[in-house]
């Protein structure tokens, strides 16, 4: 696996990342499911990625109602013995007055 520095952080991040947008159940607490990969299979995919040297994971609080983040957290527990990163996007909806409102 090839790695590169993440800006001035000093972290060495794999040049290939794993997108986790479809990790979760077909019936999330909220949000619309897409083509989902259930938790056990997703954890297996994440572990395979780690074994291949991937240490960069992309997720967001909107992916399958937040389940993607929970699955990723469970999967990487115990595998944090090296540099790594998680790309996180927090989604907000704009209110009528153009102020940002969280989940309203």
Q: What are the DSSP calls for 37-91, one per residue?
A: B-HHHHHHHHHHHHHTT--EEEEETTGGGGHHHHHHHHHHTT--SS--EEEEE--
Pairing between β-strand 12-14 and β-strand 3-5 as defined by DSSP bridges: antiparallel
Q: Which of 50, 63, 64, 68 is catalytic?
A: 63
The C-alpha atoms of residue 3 and residue 38 are separated, in whole angstroms, by 29
Annotated active-site residue 92? The verdict is: no
Question: Which residues are annotated as catalytic?
Answer: 63
């Amino acid at each position: 696996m090839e790695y590169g520095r993440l800006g001035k952080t000093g972290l060495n991040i794999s040049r290939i990342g794993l997108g986790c947008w479809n990790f979760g159940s077909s019936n999330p607490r909220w949000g619309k499911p897409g083509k989902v990969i259930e938790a056990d299979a997703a954890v297996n995919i994440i572990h395979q990625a780690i074994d291949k040297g991937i240490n960069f994971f992309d997720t967001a609080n909107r992916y399958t109602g937040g389940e993607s983040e929970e699955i990723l957290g469970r999967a990487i527990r115990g595998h944090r013995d090296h540099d790594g990163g998680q790309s996180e996007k927090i989604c907000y909806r704009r209110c009528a007055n153009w102020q940002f409102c969280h989940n309203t």
